[in-house]
Structure 1
Amino acid sequence: MSDPAPSESAADPDQRTVPRAGLDAAWRDLFPFDPYPQQVDGVERAREVMDDGGYLLLEGACGTGKTLIALVAGLQAIRDGAGERVFAVTPVKQQLKQFVTEVRTLNRGREEPFAGLVLVGKGDLLPYARTGAFPGDGGVHDASSRMREMTAKLVSRESTLSLDVAPDALDGRIEVCGDESCDRLSYSEGRCPEHRGERDEEAPWYDPLRAEALCELVESLDGPRLKTAGESAPYPADPPHTRDVLDVYDGGDLPAGQAGYFDPFYARFFADEGWVGFGFERGEAHVLDADAVVAAAVDRGVCPHESMAALMPEADVLVGNYNHAFDPKTRRLTREKAGVLDDGTLLVVDEAHMLEERVRDLLSETLSLHALRTAHRDVTLAREYLSGTGGAPGSDPETHRRHARKALSDFSGVDERDLEVAQSFLEWLADAIDGEVSTYLREEYGDWQRRFREGSLPEADHELPLRDPEAVETDRLTAAAREAFADDVWRRMRDVGAAVAAVHDDDGQTDRTPVCDAVGTLLWRWGTADHARYFREVELEYSEKALEDTTLPDWASAYNADLVLFNCIPQEPLARVFDELAGGVVMSATLEPFDVYRQVSGLALLAEDGRDGGDEDGADAGDDDRVPRRVETARYGLGFPEANRASWVLDVPPFTYRNRGDPVVEYDGMTRTRRAYASALVRLARGHGNTLLCLPSYREAEWAVEYLREHVSKPVLRDRSSDSSETDAMLARFFQGDDTHRVLVTSARGTVTEGVDYRGQRLHCAAVVGVPYANTATPRMQAVMNAYGRTFSEEGRETGFETAVQVPAVRKSRQAFGRVLRGYDEVGVRVLLDRRYLAGTPRSVNDLLGEREREEFSAVSPDMLDLALERFWGRQRQA
């Protein structure tokens, strides 16, 4: 399908809004105020594309109102039957909040408000995680998994654990085993598990009466109650333990693997059989955010995370981050558990210029040496079970053997010989990683052990490429494995891993959670994924620690090692995601060049030839029966008066590493190029109002801060790579509504140049120093450029450097200077400091700017910058 020219808003820029009363549009009652002309056009275009199940690539300058365009178009599409829900995803927390604000604005005054739900992770929802009461070491995921597994054992229909309740509890609803020789409680069943016979496959795996009895036991425990989100739970502040609820004298009487902490909130969800007990009315303007979900769920004693999942299918608008739509693990839960990522879902991708970079990381896979060794242990134990020689002291080896052989018989393509080969292969692979790391450390540091003991070993991480990143060839591990084993050893690991996992899962005498299934799948991917699109390496993370395991390599005391299967170009996985959904809007202030974006996002695969984006191992899989999807583009420039802005390119030498030299603060010690930039930054910082200066890196930003504080009277604030709370505090200082103007210095590749709202008088000048290229010296980036060069060489782009590095860098610049003008009456200056932004200069990036930007930005010489600033602000004072 051809790519039509992007539409440009043809509305009169001096026409501020279009009266809703005069709109002949079905969606006009959805809009909360009179829309801008470009918003009217944008909604109509998005609706038209959504009706055809397509995607609209929408580039709109800051202030266009892209969020409202997408939401109103999507909600009208739901009305018209073109979808069931809108799912908006963004990688920027500020933008997530903006979506929530807009949905609430749309809902206010409506008799039938739209149901909105914000999706967040377990750490923000699980009550014991929020209060810091999770027991043991490890993160939220590990702790919650352990507690949930124990909860599942307590509420399972097949559980033989006796809760400390009387038969007349729960108003006499608890059953006693119907077998004449047994007086055990059977809860909602007629007989206990020992006398039940065949399990009813239609009944759920859990017993709601067991779960209800468990919750009542926990409610009766002494101690202060858990409090979070302004609500008090019916359960204790500390997680309960099985010894608190089982009919045993003390914890020592509990069977192995059946003693531990559990989650009563999770149990209550099963006691109520998935009934949440609250709805969207508990959220402000019918939108449930994390605090609202937690408050409502904690008040009832039900799990907030499970409540969120249960409410997802009922929501009209879902708001989340990229993980919910594109991360394979999170997506699987969103799609399969909640059932909301399907052909009824209209997707809105916000800040879409980040999609390629963020998803590349999400779709890359890692395998730690620890996981590899654990998988080896899984296989070893499975082989012992199969031989009748395995099991913990006191267990019955014959029972292990019987369970193992039964489980293995379900895998027709896997036998005991395959397990033996897999065990040897995992041993070989661990030794191969050891060899790679040991060789690298010797070559890099010589006697690295001595340096480590002395404390002189740099605390740095390292990439160990397993092939030339600028070539397409088989990596060393894959090639060596083919010599040591059969050619299909990597492929076989997926089947073996699944079979071994089944052996452990079906064994009735152990509580082991195997990792071999996941490890086997990753090794299968490693051996089958395309070598041009996937780059293989060993990643070393510095992590000093004491080692108790003498079987580990000596370098493990200083480093963690991971195998990394890095996804260089994620267009095909993205195409699969887009193709599963009903259509939508992919939007940003910076998507141009559209031809590049269509390719790297995978949308061109949907539009051009009907491919489905390939199969799971990265190979292309054509689908001649699939109808190509409609993919169109729309572009809206600044719809504000041009007289309110000045746009300049400062004609100074390129701010490259070679030109600028070291970041010295003494003027006499600077290179000529750095002097030119230092002088220009001082002039900009001394100018009118609040000034945002965006350097190509945080290191250069540090230099600018130090220099400006010596030469500028305004307060100079420094942004650095930090957590969100520190960044928010810094921005609050910059936005203070007093008479003092400030300078904020940051990296153009940082967080405050994207998704932050500098509305009104918050910002008067935004300047970008240099072209903020990513570091191209790393093996991964070299592999990415190589993959892009090979994939897009026929798309009119000469090199992988242009597609993979230059285009994203210029988008970063456009995002940064786009902060300054957000509304019709706002006034500001946009400056690009580097002559490479001019047309016709060596290594020019001018053609990568937006079309309107190429027209508006004019060259200014350094000696004329003061005069240009004075004249512009003088005109504004006279207006």
Structure 2
Amino acid sequence: MSDSIGDRTVPRVSIDAEWADLFPFDPYPQQVDGVERALDVCRDQGYLLLEGACGTGKTLIALAAGVQTVLDGDADRVMAVTPVKQQLKQFVTEIRAINDNREDGETPITGLVMVGKRDMLPYAREEQLSDAKSVHDAASDMRETTASLISRESMLELDIAPDDLDGRINTCDESGCDRLSYGSHECPEHRSERDEDTTWYDPVRAKALCQLVSESDGPRLETAGATAPYPESPPHTRDVLDIYASDEIPAADAGYFDPFYARFFADEEWIPFGFDESETSVLDSETIVRAAVSRGTCPHEAMASLMSEADVLIGNYNHVFDPMTRRLTGEKAGVLDEGTVLIIDEAHMLEERVRDLLSDTLSLHALRTAHRDIALAREYLSGTGGEPGADPLAHQRQAKSVLSDYDGLKASDLRVGQQFIEWLIEAIDEEVSSFLHEEYGDWQRRFREGSLPTDDHEIPLRDPQTVAVDRLTEAAGSTFDDDVWRRMRTIGSAVGAIHEADSQTDRTPVSEGVGMLLFEWGLADERTYFREIELEYAEKPADTTLPDWVSAYNGALSLYNCIPHDPLATIFEDLAGGVLMSATLEPFDVYLRVSGLDHLAGSDSTSTSDSTTNSASGSNATHGAEQETDSRRIETTGYGLSFPRKNRASWIVDLPAFTYRNRGPPSAAFDAMTRARQAHASAIVTVARSHGNILLCLPSYAEAEWAVTHLREHVTKPVLCDRSSESGTTDAMLGRFFQDDGTDRVLVTSARGTVTEGIDYKGSRLHTAAVVGVPYANTANARMKAVINAYDREFEDGGFEYAVKVPAVRKTRQALGRVLRGHSEVGTRILLDGRYRPDAPRSVNTYLSASERTEFTTVSPDMLDYALNQFWDRDS
């Protein structure tokens, strides 16, 4: 068996390595080289940066190396994460292919796909949760109610007789007490120390609860092709409690609950199915939900429980890098540790995605709710709080008992915390009111008239191009002591604990989360974090208790992480090494620094920009110098396109730089355009008229709109316009573009959009990918200025290069990668901007890969039509 590699035919390689059994076919030379390198690095608990063009087989290379590391006993599991759903499916496909190729009797490689609660909670999947709350909040409330029903300490009596559950329900042993004690000797009121069970839940209570729900009338819930033993809508406590035997039901214990969650504890946290539920030993979300729902247990808990048993875990970036999601994968499941080999797919996106994950916001609504939390806690402490008819002294005793657990915290501190939030809300109001007046003048009148623009805004609280204390923090220092931000964490935690411990209220406090963010706001490094106020346009009824602008905007404090390399380095350090892969990682020296991997390699290590051809692999491979220190081993490797060179043409068109200053406003009339825009307008018409389907990528969606208008006047092909929109709209637009009806089309988009990455334009779907200009991020944005400033200070004035130039060229390279997805495909790659030339002013040529710098040749605008015709007419 052989394939064309470059301009020659190179056979696939049959090898005798152990990992070869994991390949479903004989590997290509670059795949042999890639697996050997990755395996060697992973055995040393190091990290390999792997850049590979389409056709390299990056997914299989990384999986084979990671799984072999597990089979060798050098790691416990592989965790593969990707931000692209299509690639998540690719990981599943590859593991299934590996298992299909294993010999009879060999233990299959087990895999599990990790997804969020919306996809894993049965009632959430069928949109049966409260419309007034997010899935997370509604599910949390249901779980809290469920926990109160199955707790060993619960005084609530289920409406079930002792004989209804195989004799497992007992009555209390205490003389004269006839309360049900479920799985214990005594009811909670008379429980003694001789009860040695220390679990918080009673599995007998949980089983009884599930039986009551399963015996209720009405249609059953159906999801993922399975029918549950429970109703199609969440059950309520009133449906299962014996209102005559129970004490008065506290408000906190009343509400809807989740019988699937209860069943998990009825089974004493045992999952009644395993990886053999799937014929391929890979459990995706649909398989888990179907298996769990049919047995009445919780799919989300099943997923969490099975994580530690899987050889390969597959998820998204959140599972590794989001502090909230890490509670599931790290703290609960324990699968993010020194036994985990990490595979990061589409790793060029890592910095941008993690920057957002490590940033945080605090809404005005949350501040006001936290203020109310503190006010109620203070009422409890003073002996004046509680629900009507409740004993305020009981509230007071409970609150004081909780507060005593916080050393040094006094009731007066809560008053200070309340005053601080009041001051903060007023300070935000002043900032927003001043901004709106400066931006729109009499904005209230314009809002009433309906002429106020529906734009969102960011209000920077310091000069983004300096490092300084923000205005809110500085102003707080003149009213409160310097320690107030730090103390808000303790105050918020104590207030939350007071509410949680009080069984007479149904309030879900937010004070702990608010206190934590205020703590971080006050202590976060000014060099790393940028502080703003975010305004999201959202009309709503006026609320006289809030500032008047709230009727037009949602307001929030924003603590934005400009440069996340330190937390990334910490996460990488905690794991057993791995592979970071993408088609666009170069330049490696920049990537090492912004990802934090240079921290692991040690300060004495250096990245080399020199590269050599690995002739032994028979591929177009380039390899950076290995970096090995006393800490971690970091290695880089790159593979160019392995498809036949004759099947492609790659050009840089020597056009004026398509910059904001050069191109001028996007005029529809050719005569009104600047010379630079005229040159590009003529070039995109030439490209659009060429053979086949065309993907044309502009620097922004606004410029894409201009290009569409111009092309529709000069091109007979249908011209489709991609806009920033919901995924369903984008999918429908791509469906029209991919339609196989004999009509060629032009798709115009932003190079910073969603259809230039992660979309497979395979086969005859695409013939030319062209990028107009260099898709720089908007550097006039205050947040982007802060990012550049942070990089300047971290990397000695390399901010624009690291934060803007390199990511922009990666966007270009990703767009070009949409064409030529297979060995038999033919296509052209075109860069429409002279700055891609190596000798151009402000050239970005060095940020292309070594193979791209070799392949792309310069053509003048007047020769572009001739070059395209010559390429496409050569076989006619």
Q: What is the TM-score with the length of structure 1 in the denominator?
A: 0.94
The number of residues matched between the two structures is: 847
- Match in the other structure for 2:846: 847
- Match in the other structure for 2:97: 105
| Mapped contact 1:63–1:821 kept (Cα < 8 A) | no
- Match in the other structure for 1:19: 13
Task: Please state if 1:601 is matched with 2:595.
Answer: yes
| Mapped contact 2:81–2:314 kept (Cα < 8 A) | yes
CA distance in 2, matches of 1:199, 1:553: 58
CA distance in 2, matches of 1:433, 1:70: 49
| AA in 2 matched with 1:843 | R
- Match in the other structure for 1:742: 745
Task: Please state if 1:857 is matched with 2:856.
Answer: yes
- Match in the other structure for 1:618: none
**Match for residue 137 of structure 1 among 119, 126, 132:** 132
- Match in the other structure for 1:415: 410
**Match for residue 719 of structure 1 among 718, 722, 744:** 722
| Mapped contact 1:243–1:250 kept (Cα < 8 A) | no
- Match in the other structure for 2:626: none
CA distance in 2, matches of 1:627, 1:869: 53
Task: Please state if 1:397 is matched with 2:392.
Answer: yes
- Match in the other structure for 2:624: none
Task: Please state if 1:763 is matched with 2:755.
Answer: no
What is the aligned-residue identity percentage? 67
| Mapped contact 2:464–2:783 kept (Cα < 8 A) | yes
Residues 22-45 of structure 1, C-alpha deviations (whole Å, 9 max, x = no match): x13110110011212111101000
| Mapped contact 2:251–2:504 kept (Cα < 8 A) | no
CA distance in 2, matches of 1:700, 1:602: 35
| AA in 1 matched with 2:584 | T
CA distance in 2, matches of 1:863, 1:524: 61
**Match for residue 494 of structure 1 among 489, 497, 500:** 489
Q: How does 1:15-94 map to 2 (within 5 A)?
A: 15-20=9-14, 23-94=15-86
What secondary structure, in the 3-state scheme, does the structure 1 residue paired with 2:253 have?
coil
CA distance in 2, matches of 1:468, 1:560: 23
| Mapped contact 1:821–1:828 kept (Cα < 8 A) | yes
Measured after TM superposition, the shift of residue 314 of structure 1 is 1.0
| Mapped contact 2:162–2:180 kept (Cα < 8 A) | yes
Q: 1:710 to 1:284 in 2, by over 3 A?
A: farther
Task: Please state if 1:695 is matched with 2:698.
Answer: yes
Measured after TM superposition, the shift of residue 466 of structure 1 is 0.6
**Match for residue 428 of structure 2 among 425, 433, 442:** 433
Task: Please state if 1:476 is matched with 2:471.
Answer: yes
- Match in the other structure for 2:572: 578
Worse overlay, 558-567 or 848-857: 848-857
CA distance in 2, matches of 1:272, 1:809: 53
CA distance in 2, matches of 1:737, 1:560: 45
- Match in the other structure for 1:588: 582
Task: Please state if 1:728 is matched with 2:731.
Answer: yes
Measured after TM superposition, the shift of residue 13 of structure 1 is 6.0
Measured after TM superposition, the shift of residue 330 of structure 1 is 0.4
- Match in the other structure for 1:673: 676
Task: Please state if 1:291 is matched with 2:293.
Answer: no
| Mapped contact 1:610–1:628 kept (Cα < 8 A) | no
CA distance in 2, matches of 1:309, 1:201: 27
Measured after TM superposition, the shift of residue 185 of structure 1 is 0.7
Measured after TM superposition, the shift of residue 15 of structure 1 is 4.2
- Match in the other structure for 1:326: 321
Measured after TM superposition, the shift of residue 730 of structure 1 is 2.6
- Match in the other structure for 2:521: 526
| Mapped contact 2:21–2:101 kept (Cα < 8 A) | no
Worse overlay, 289-298 or 707-716: 707-716
Worse overlay, 663-672 or 208-217: 663-672
Measured after TM superposition, the shift of residue 441 of structure 1 is 1.3
Worse overlay, 298-307 or 729-738: 729-738
| Mapped contact 1:15–1:37 kept (Cα < 8 A) | no
CA distance in 2, matches of 1:284, 1:682: 52
CA distance in 2, matches of 1:120, 1:192: 39
- Match in the other structure for 1:827: 826
- Match in the other structure for 1:365: 360
| Mapped contact 2:155–2:247 kept (Cα < 8 A) | no
Measured after TM superposition, the shift of residue 870 of structure 1 is 1.5
**Match for residue 568 of structure 1 among 544, 562, 565:** 562
Residues 588-627 of structure 1, C-alpha deviations (whole Å, 9 max, x = no match): 111111111111111111111499xxxxxxxxxxxxxx95
Measured after TM superposition, the shift of residue 17 of structure 1 is 4.3
| Mapped contact 1:366–1:565 kept (Cα < 8 A) | yes
What secondary structure, in the 3-state scheme, does the structure 2 residue paired with 1:319 have?
strand
| AA in 1 matched with 2:272 | G
CA distance in 1, matches of 2:11, 2:228: 49
Task: Please state if 1:456 is matched with 2:451.
Answer: yes
| AA in 1 matched with 2:805 | Q
- Match in the other structure for 2:815: 816
What secondary structure, in the 3-state scheme, does the structure 2 residue paired with 1:88 have?
strand
CA distance in 2, matches of 1:485, 1:407: 26
Worse overlay, 602-611 or 421-430: 602-611
| Mapped contact 1:400–1:507 kept (Cα < 8 A) | yes
Measured after TM superposition, the shift of residue 197 of structure 1 is 3.8
Residues 94-116 of structure 1, C-alpha deviations (whole Å, 9 max, x = no match): 11111111111112143422111
Measured after TM superposition, the shift of residue 252 of structure 1 is 13
Worse overlay, 700-709 or 861-870: 700-709
| Mapped contact 1:240–1:263 kept (Cα < 8 A) | yes
| AA in 2 matched with 1:390 | G
Worse overlay, 77-86 or 464-473: 77-86
Q: 1:358 to 1:309 in 2, by over 3 A?
A: same
CA distance in 2, matches of 1:384, 1:15: 81
Q: 1:330 to 1:627 in 2, by over 3 A?
A: farther
Worse overlay, 392-401 or 205-214: 392-401
Measured after TM superposition, the shift of residue 202 of structure 1 is 5.3
- Match in the other structure for 1:212: 207
CA distance in 2, matches of 1:610, 1:497: 44
- Match in the other structure for 2:509: 514
What secondary structure, in the 3-state scheme, does the structure 1 residue paired with 2:789 have?
helix
| Mapped contact 2:170–2:184 kept (Cα < 8 A) | yes
Q: Can you give the 5+ residue segments of structure 1 that lack an aligned partner in the other structure?
A: 1-9, 612-625
Measured after TM superposition, the shift of residue 545 of structure 1 is 0.3
What secondary structure, in the 3-state scheme, does the structure 2 residue paired with 1:539 have?
strand
Residues 238-278 of structure 1, C-alpha deviations (whole Å, 9 max, x = no match): 11111111112799974423321111111111111112211
What secondary structure, in the 3-state scheme, does the structure 2 residue paired with 1:375 have?
helix
CA RMSD, Structure 1 to Structure 2 (Å): 2.0
Measured after TM superposition, the shift of residue 134 of structure 1 is 1.4
Measured after TM superposition, the shift of residue 206 of structure 1 is 1.0
Q: 1:779 to 1:168 in 2, by over 3 A?
A: same
Q: 1:742 to 1:251 in 2, by over 3 A?
A: farther
Measured after TM superposition, the shift of residue 506 of structure 1 is 2.2
CA distance in 1, matches of 2:244, 2:405: 41
Q: 1:251 to 1:759 in 2, by over 3 A?
A: farther
Measured after TM superposition, the shift of residue 686 of structure 1 is 1.7
CA distance in 2, matches of 1:331, 1:201: 33
Measured after TM superposition, the shift of residue 808 of structure 1 is 0.3
**Match for residue 296 of structure 2 among 298, 301, 309:** 301
**Match for residue 775 of structure 2 among 772, 777, 782:** 772
- Match in the other structure for 1:553: 547
CA distance in 1, matches of 2:736, 2:547: 49
- Match in the other structure for 1:619: none
What secondary structure, in the 3-state scheme, does the structure 2 residue paired with 1:760 have?
coil
What secondary structure, in the 3-state scheme, does the structure 2 residue paired with 1:585 have?
strand
Residues 209-246 of structure 1, C-alpha deviations (whole Å, 9 max, x = no match): 11111111111111111111111111111111111111
| AA in 2 matched with 1:529 | A
| Mapped contact 1:590–1:811 kept (Cα < 8 A) | yes
**Match for residue 355 of structure 1 among 336, 347, 350:** 350
| Mapped contact 1:389–1:397 kept (Cα < 8 A) | yes
What secondary structure, in the 3-state scheme, does the structure 1 residue paired with 2:228 have?
strand
